[in-house]
Amino acid sequence: MTRDDIARMAKEAGFADGMAEIMGLEGFYNFAALVAAEKDKEIKRLQDLLYTQLGELTALRAEKQIRKRVEELKEQPR
- Asked whether 13 and 31 are in contact (CB, 8 A), the reply is yes
Q: pLDDT at residue 41 above 80?
A: yes
Q: pLDDT at residue 33 above 90?
A: no
Q: pLDDT at residue 68 above 90?
A: yes
According to the model, what pLDDT value does residue 21 have? 60
According to the model, what pLDDT value does residue 17 have? 61
Range of the domain at 27: 3-75
- Domain tally, the chain: 1
Q: pLDDT at residue 16 above 70?
A: no
The Cα 24–Cα 26 span in angstroms is: 6
The Cα 5–Cα 73 span in angstroms is: 57
**What does pLDDT average to over the chain?**
84
Identify which has the larger pLDDT, 61 or 28. 61
